[in-house]
Chains A and B, each alone.
Chain A
Amino acid sequence: MDTVKEVVVTGLGVAVAGLDDPAGLLAAPGDIPRSGGDDPVRRLDRRGLRYKDRATKLAMCAGRDALVDSGLVTDGPEPVLTVPGETVGVLVSSNYGNVDTICDAVATIAEHTYLGTSPMALPATSSNVIASWIAITHGLRGANLTLCNGPTSGLDAVYWAGLLIRSGRIRSALVIGVEPANEQVRHVAGGGDPDQAPHLFDGAVAMVVEDARSARERGRTPLAALGPYARRADSALAVAAVRRAEPAPVGLWCPPADGGPTPGTAHDRDPAQGTPVRVDRTRDEYPAVTDLTALLGDCSGALGVLQCVAGTAWLSTPESTGRAVLAVSGSGSFADTTGDDAAAGMMLVHPAGAEAPA
């Protein structure tokens, strides 16, 4: 197996109420209403949706859009895969995806015994149900992974997609970050008290990542390339690890839910000092800031994929020339026995040989 030199992004998809396209993730906090807007699930054909949970439906919306955007499937009412199914993997990141099914079932059993449950809901009791339906829908037969890895889960999924491509198991992967917001999830996220739960993101985003050669062979223009990744004890260490490996200056900073360190922490630069700066007011020495938690609420397992989709969209803007994206998920606020167990950092860069966007 030849060494994979570069893993690139070739398609994006979003299923977030009030957002029309991935570039919308670069909006300033408050520009997207946190509620309202058409439910993206309405875009799906209603056939076959009856027994799918909300997370699966959201993931299907975003996943289809990313696959079409990348050219891996054809557009239209009956999408067709354009490459062999065994070369395409699926990676889903979600912490709360099937919590609703579990809670409903255990309450139903208490009230009506096992006879009150529906056998059709059985697959959704297993946390891989989203990735399973995505694979079935599009015939994606490659490695299929579901990361339920806490606040870093989304960046972890993007990393594992790259690793599976580099290891030669697959040539491309659909990566989806998805979280549903409902009363069951609010109960769990609030530690048993829904009133303690933060405002929760409800939606999905998706990206196709691919061996750069495979993208070239298919005649696709890469939108971004995956840079270094690190999962460390805290966010400053994660930032330091990825910045050591990628020297490009950071032009877009996607902070974790708690704001995290500024990109220069534990490093030789002294950028924004944490003051959120709107993307359109960016200057060379100050990275723009896209705080997706401020924009959308607590994104949990979807955050890392949201950051990578937003980062890829930003790399298509003129101000990105010569600069990279830095994303951090999780805080590593661990103390005693609780808190975030780690923080993950990842950088996205312009693909090798890419011309500066006009």
Chain B
Amino acid sequence: MSWVIKGVGAVASTGGTATEIFASLCAGRSGLGPIQGFDPTRFRAVNAYEIDDRPGPGQDVPGRATKWLLDAVGAALDDAGLPPRLDDIPVVVGTTLRELRSVELSWRDKIAFDPAELHFGTALRWRFGGVQTYTVANACAASLYGLALGADLLDCGAADTVVVAGTDTITESTYGMLDRCYPEAPDRVRPFDRERRGMLQGEGASAVVLRRCADPGHGRVRAVVRGIAVNCDAHHPSAPDAKSIAQSIREAHARAGVEPTDIDLVMLHGTGTPLNDEAEAEAIRDVFGIAATAPWMTAIKSMLGHTAGASGLHSLLTAVAAMDAGRVPPTRYLDDPIDEVADLRLVRGAAQEASMSIAQVDSFGFGGLNAVAVVEKVG
């Protein structure tokens, strides 16, 4: 079984549409900047990848993750040629932090927040009349995990069209505890670089409209999803497990009916944390063997930050656009690669022209959650 992507939508620090985001990634533009939403005197870290839509510096407002989700879902429906109505269309929303930033503002600053808005179904009902909506808090693997759930819904005949989305804003609690964890504050996300110091969060949302390949409906098809694997390390609450990641990659290949040599592009999870980058590189080498040096690879968190629940679909949308355009965005801030990736074709410096038809997308999260998808170019 495979599925078609009929429409896409995305919002991030570097752009308000999927097209804008891809163009700015290819141009090497980063959304990195001094933190705007929090009191900077409370932290050692100074930067993040925020969306600049607050009333003013230091003035935070609730409901931003919800707003971006609605924007991305609306864009994806429109791109699929559908009206802005969900009705019976199921929506799976992957998220790490839900509207917990709004909870923080309510608890500390007494800014009003309706508990009905802690999950995203309330806003999806309000904006699009959606009722078959699911907020899945699956950490930073959430939107790609959601893609597997959406595909399963289509397979079992529960729906003919589903929307899969992801959204996240930055909470002070996570930002502060990450700051507390790292020996030095990261100034930027440097995936696979010897000088990487850790992850910085990003903000954004992403969405796709999905249908069965056998029943693609009217209109253009953006890409084909060949297979999605999900699993759990059951190993550590935050440290990744290379062996389990490798298993999820192998399962994704098997579900997609591809071999490592078929993969032209790998969208790496690449968070720029010491542990993730080593484990991911080890898993790739384990699965691909000598074929590891063949596919192009890139890690977009260097420019978008870690968009958490939205990040898996941000990577997937980048893969789709890259295969269409024949151009792979570079991994910025990767100046001195670690030994584990030294001979891999990680795109650095400028965007790389390339002809590609099959991509692997990695997305991992706290709790040892792994989701890996294989997508194919149309035509």
Q: Would you give the 0/1 interface string for A110-124, flagging 1 where the beta carbon is closer than 8 Å to chain B? A: 100111011101110
Contact A341 B124 (CB under 8 A): yes
Contact A147 B365 (CB under 8 A): no
**B189: Cβ under 8 A from any A Cβ:** no
**B235: Cβ under 8 A from any A Cβ:** yes
CB-CB nearest in chain B for A121: B177
User: Given A341-B116, A341-B121, are A129 and B231 neighbors across the interface (CB < 8 Å)?
Assistant: no
Report B176-196 residues with CB < 8 Å from chain A CB. Answer: 176-181
**Complex Cα spacing A153 to B116, Å:** 12
Q: Would you give the 0/1 interface string for B218-238, flagging 1 where the beta carbon is closer than 8 Å to chain A? A: 000000000000111111111
**Across-interface contacts of B104 in A (CB, < 8 A):** 102-103, 106
Contact A102 B121 (CB under 8 A): no
**Across-interface contacts of A149 in B (CB, < 8 A):** 119, 121, 133-136
Q: Would you give the 0/1 interface string for A338-357, flagging 1 where the beta carbon is closer than 8 Å to chain B? A: 11111000000000000000
Contact A122 B178 (CB under 8 A): yes
**Across-interface contacts of A85 in B (CB, < 8 A):** 234
**A139: Cβ under 8 A from any B Cβ:** yes
**A80: Cβ under 8 A from any B Cβ:** no
Q: Would you give the 0/1 interface string for B29-67, flagging 1 where the beta carbon is closer than 8 Å to chain A? A: 000000000010111100000000000000000000000
Contact B238 A122 (CB under 8 A): yes
**A144: Cβ under 8 A from any B Cβ:** yes
Contact B122 A150 (CB under 8 A): yes
Contact B116 A115 (CB under 8 A): no
**A290: Cβ under 8 A from any B Cβ:** no
Contact A106 B366 (CB under 8 A): no
Q: Name the distance in Å between A331's Cβ and chain B's nearest Cβ.
A: 11
- Stretch from A65-73, A181-189, A321-329 contacting the other chain: A181-189
Contact B119 A148 (CB under 8 A): yes
Contact of B125 among A95, A117, A342 (CB under 8 A): A342
**Across-interface contacts of B366 in A (CB, < 8 A):** 123, 126, 128-129, 132
**Complex Cα spacing A140 to B368, Å:** 11
Q: Would you give the 0/1 interface string for B133-170, flagging 1 where the beta carbon is closer than 8 Å to chain A? A: 11111110000010011001101101000000000000
User: Interface residues of A, CB < 8 Å — how many?
Assistant: 72
**B174: Cβ under 8 A from any A Cβ:** yes
**Across-interface contacts of B138 in A (CB, < 8 A):** 128, 144-146
**A275: Cβ under 8 A from any B Cβ:** no
Contact B156 A163 (CB under 8 A): yes
Contact B137 A128 (CB under 8 A): yes
**Complex Cα spacing A164 to B178, Å:** 33
- Stretch from B92-100, B278-286, B340-348 contacting the other chain: B92-100
What total of A-B pairs shows CB separation below 8 Å? 246
Contact B181 A119 (CB under 8 A): yes
Contact of A105 among B117, B137, B176, B369 (CB under 8 A): B176
CB-CB nearest in chain A for B366: A126
Contact A167 B155 (CB under 8 A): yes
**A191: Cβ under 8 A from any B Cβ:** yes
Q: Name the distance in Å between A348's Cβ and chain B's nearest Cβ.
A: 19
Q: Name the distance in Å between B144's Cβ and chain A's nearest Cβ.
A: 12
**Across-interface contacts of A140 in B (CB, < 8 A):** 232, 234
**A99: Cβ under 8 A from any B Cβ:** yes
B110, B117, B125 — most chain A CB neighbours (10 Å) = B125
CB-CB nearest in chain B for A187: B107
**Across-interface contacts of A141 in B (CB, < 8 A):** 231-234, 244
Report A306-340 residues with CB < 8 Å from chain B CB. Answer: 332, 334, 336-340
Contact A338 B116 (CB under 8 A): yes
**B352: Cβ under 8 A from any A Cβ:** no
User: Given A135-B232, A141-B244, A144-B232, are A127 and B98 neighbors across the interface (CB < 8 Å)?
Assistant: yes
User: Given A128-B137, A163-B156, A188-B103, are A135 and B368 neighbors across the interface (CB < 8 Å)?
Assistant: yes
Contact of B172 among A106, A339, A340 (CB under 8 A): A106
**A62: Cβ under 8 A from any B Cβ:** no
User: Given A99-B103, A114-B43, are A125 and B177 neighbors across the interface (CB < 8 Å)?
Assistant: yes
Contact A114 B176 (CB under 8 A): yes
Contact of A109 among B121, B176, B232 (CB under 8 A): B176
Contact A86 B231 (CB under 8 A): yes
**B171: Cβ under 8 A from any A Cβ:** yes
**Complex Cα spacing A338 to B116, Å:** 6
User: Given A133-B237, A136-B235, A339-B116, are A102 and B134 neighbors across the interface (CB < 8 Å)?
Assistant: no
**Complex Cα spacing A341 to B366, Å:** 29
**Complex Cα spacing A133 to B232, Å:** 11
Contact B42 A131 (CB under 8 A): no
Report B229-270 residues with CB < 8 Å from chain A CB. Answer: 230-238, 244, 247
Contact A167 B42 (CB under 8 A): no
Contact of A102 among B152, B158, B173 (CB under 8 A): B173
Contact A136 B234 (CB under 8 A): yes
Contact A338 B114 (CB under 8 A): yes
**Complex Cα spacing A105 to B1, Å:** 45
**Complex Cα spacing A184 to B113, Å:** 13
**B19: Cβ under 8 A from any A Cβ:** no
Contact A128 B124 (CB under 8 A): no
**B131: Cβ under 8 A from any A Cβ:** yes
Contact A188 B115 (CB under 8 A): yes
**A169: Cβ under 8 A from any B Cβ:** yes
Q: Name the distance in Å between B255's Cβ and chain A's nearest Cβ.
A: 10
Contact A135 B367 (CB under 8 A): yes
**A79: Cβ under 8 A from any B Cβ:** no
**Across-interface contacts of B131 in A (CB, < 8 A):** 231-233, 332, 341-342
Contact B180 A118 (CB under 8 A): yes
A-B contact pairs, 26 of them (CB 8 A): A95-B118, A101-B173, A102-B100, A103-B108, A106-B107, A114-B175, A119-B180, A125-B97, A127-B100, A128-B365, A128-B366, A129-B366, A136-B234, A136-B235, A136-B236, A141-B244, A142-B232, A143-B145, A144-B230, A144-B368, A150-B118, A160-B134, A187-B106, A189-B115, A233-B131, A341-B122
Question: When A and B form their complex, which 4 residue pairs have the shortest distance between CB atoms, in order from nearest?
Answer: A132-B367, A105-B173, A127-B137, A123-B237
